[in-house]
Amino acid sequence: QVQLVHSGAEVKKPGASVKVSCKAFGYTFTGYYVHWVRQAPGQGLEWMGWINPNSGDTNYAQKFQGRFTMTRDTSISTAYMELSSLRSDDTGVYYCARVPCLTTNCSPENWFDPWGQGTLVTVSS
Residues of the shown chain interacting with another protein in the complex, contacts defined by CB under 8 A: 35, 44-47, 59, 61-62, 95, 97, 100, 107, 109-118
Euclidean distance between CA atoms 6 and 35, whole angstroms: 13
Q: How far is the C-alpha of 59 from the C-alpha of 119, rounded, in Å?
A: 21
Minimum CB distance to another protein, residue 99 (Å): 9
Q: Judged by CB, which is closer to another protein: 15, or 25? A: 25
Give the start-end residues of each E strand in 1-125.
Answer: 3-6, 10-12, 18-25, 34-39, 45-51, 58-60, 68-73, 78-83, 92-98, 119-123
- Minimum CB separation of residue 39 from another protein in Å reads 9
Task: Give the residue with the Cβ less far from another protein, 54 or 59.
Answer: 59
Cβ proximity to another protein: between 9 and 16 the closer is 9
